[in-house]
Structures are given as C-alpha cells and as structure tokens.
Amino acid sequence: GAGVSQSPSNKVTEKGKDVELRCDPISGHTALYWYRQSLGQGLEFLIYFQGNSAPDKSGLPSDRFSAERTGGSVSTLTIQRTQQEDSAVYLCASSLELAGTLDTQYFGPGTRLTVL
C-alpha cells in the first residue's frame, strides 16, 4: 500500500519568506508527527497530532512554526519568516496509535529545506 508522502521533496527559499510543507499520512493512521533532522542534531520532535488536534506542540522551536491537520489526514507545517538556521530535512511520520504494544511510526521521505 501507499506509504507516507511529503511534498515538495526539496525547497529552496530566501531568508524572510514563508514556506509550507505538506504531509500525506498512511490512510487510517490517526496519529501524525513532524520531526526536523539536521546535521549534528539528529531527529528532533516538533509536534504530534491526534486526529485534527495537537495535544503536544512542545517541540516547535518558535512561534514562526505552526502546523495544522485537516480531515484527520493531510497536515501542513508552515514556517514564517524563514531563517538560515531553519535549513534542515523535515520528516513526517504517522501511526495507528496502538495501545499495549509498540506504536510503530512510519516515516515519509522528508522535505529538504534550504534557506539562503
């Protein structure tokens, strides 16, 4: 079946511009996660969605970062007034939210963001 997809795969933008990154999770997965992966930092948690609500936004680095999810499916991560330190690979994952066992997260290929 189809896995997690993300678009665009690459995005180059100028400092100060806004960008939107999209994630299409696996159909039927109620949980969705955004992570950021940069050199020397590893995979950093940004936000967790349960359905359309975000009970854990603790990883968003500043108020320039926001995310939404609609229809319990597609999610968009928006970065306003981008800075060079925002350059990274942004990864999305989804899961079934299983209880009593490991809730495996399935990752998309990521969006590589470069801020000039």
Partner 1 sequence: QKEVEQDPGPLSVPEGAIVSLNCTYSNSAFQYFMWYRQYSRKGPELLMYTYSSGNKEDGRFTAQVDKSSKYISLFIRDSQPSDSATYLCAMSVRVSGGYQKVTFGIGTKLQVIP
Site residues for partner 1, 50-69, by CB under 8 A, read: 50, 55-56
Q: 24-39 burial by CB neighbour count: b if 16+ within 10 A, else e? A: bbbeebebbbbbbeee
Question: Between 18 and 56, whose beta carbon lies closer to partner 1?
Answer: 56
Question: Between 85 and 102, whose beta carbon lies closer to partner 1?
Answer: 102
Of 48, 60, 69, 79, the residue at the interface with partner 1 (CB under 8 A) is 48
Q: Of the listed pieces 13-21, 62-70, 74-82, 103-111, which binds partner 1 according to CB under 8 A?
A: 103-111
By CB under 8 A, residue 114 contacts partner 1: no
Q: Nearest approach, Cβ of 80 to partner 1 (angstroms)?
A: 25
By CB under 8 A, residue 102 contacts partner 1: yes
**The 3-state secondary structure of 10-75, one letter per residue:** EEEECCCCCEEEEEECCCCCCEEEEEEEECCCEEEEEEEEECCEEEECCCCCCCCEEEEECCCCCE
